[in-house]
Amino acid sequence: MRIIAGEYKGCSIKSLDGNSTRPTTDYFREVIFSTLFDVENLSVLDLYSGSGALALEAISRGASHATLVDGSESAVKTILSNVEKLKCRDKVLVQKIKSETFVKKTDRKFDLILIDPPYSKNCINPILELIFENDLLNPDGTIVVEHSNIEPIEDRFKKYISKEKKRGITVISFLEPDSLEEKDENI
């Protein structure tokens, strides 16, 4: 696995060993970041971080800070190894805690929230609910969710979806809650 663009373009990073995780492919990372277009100076939250590839791609492309959250010891070790390799420790905070617990406890807000949980574990809608309940997204912020087509985003959150990209069983959903409010005001 490698960083696609930005300051660390071409640098290889480790992925997690075994079959328990499914890293975001180069293709889908490119889809995410070409759709977002500009992450310069954004604060990023990467839930279910795995190897940290999504957040590290954001840092490489100019995000000011990233908080990477994963409950797995092996994931945290892999993330820390990748952070050390890229020498970007001053721009990241790594938290070994379940994503749901972090979202309930944090008082921080973020410009970009990346969510890539294991497929078919029923994580998507509960974590979205917690994010909205705890008001983690800054105004004009975006939530990007990578999920399986057999675990769709529930109707109550669909109104926030501004874009979706699909390939095979993978769906990338972009949620922009403030864009809905702007549309409502223009009616």
Q: Is the pLDDT of residue 90 over 50?
A: yes
Decide if 21 is inside a domain. no
Decide if 158 is inside a domain. yes
Question: How far from the centroid of its chain's Cα atoms is residue 75's Cα?
Answer: 15
Tens of pLDDT, residue by residue over 43-83, are 999 999 999 999 999 999 999 999 999 999 999 999 999 99
Decide if 13 is inside a domain. no
Whole-prediction pTM: 0.91
Decide if 70 is inside a domain. yes
61: its two tokens? 């492309």
Q: Is the pLDDT of residue 23 over 70?
A: no
Domain at 44, CATH number: 3.40.50.150
Could you tell me what percent of the chain has a pLDDT over 90?
Answer: 76
pLDDT in the model for residue 116: 92
DSSP 3-state percent helix, strand, coil across the chain (nearest 5):
35, 25, 40
Rounded mean pLDDT, 139-156: 93
The number of distinct structural domains making up the chain is 1
Amino acid letter, residue 134: N
Decide if 11 is inside a domain. no
Domain carrying residue 43 = 26-185
